[in-house]
Amino acid sequence: QVQLVESGGGLVQAGGSLRLSCAASGLIYGRYAMGWFRQAPGKEREFVAAISWREGTTVNADSVKGRFTISRDNAKNTVYLQMNSLKPEDTAVYYCAASVRGPTSSGGLYDSWGQGTQVTVSS
């Protein structure tokens, strides 16, 4: 059974940084891509970034390019989302997800999801 556990969320001022972590277990390592999504109150879930497990190929949403960086540590089975220059509009619950179909921006193609971690950016 795949388990994904996010951590690292919190309250930060605009312009600040946070690093989210997603610890994965139960995966067939090397066969899953990992993604980050977010959902703000009253809004639909939004793709943020994704990375392939082996090659490290990344996909990023236009809204976070140049500010957020996704990376992974295969030895620790952990995926990270480094978030810099945070804006109030980045406030959301951030979710980690796993997909056997590669680093896609389509949430419907992800097989497993974490419980989410809250990120709040104050102005």
pLDDT at 30: 66
Which pair of structure tokens corresponds to residue 24? 């994965």
How would you write the pLDDT of the chain (123 residues) with one tens digit per residue?
889 999 999 999 999 999 999 999 987 666 789 999 999 999 999 999 999 988 889 999 999 999 999 999 888 889 999 999 999 999 999 999 999 888 999 999 999 999 999 999 999
Please give the pLDDT value at position 55.
81
Helix, strand or coil, per DSSP, at residue 13: strand
Q: Are 59 and 50 in contact (CB under 8 A)?
A: yes
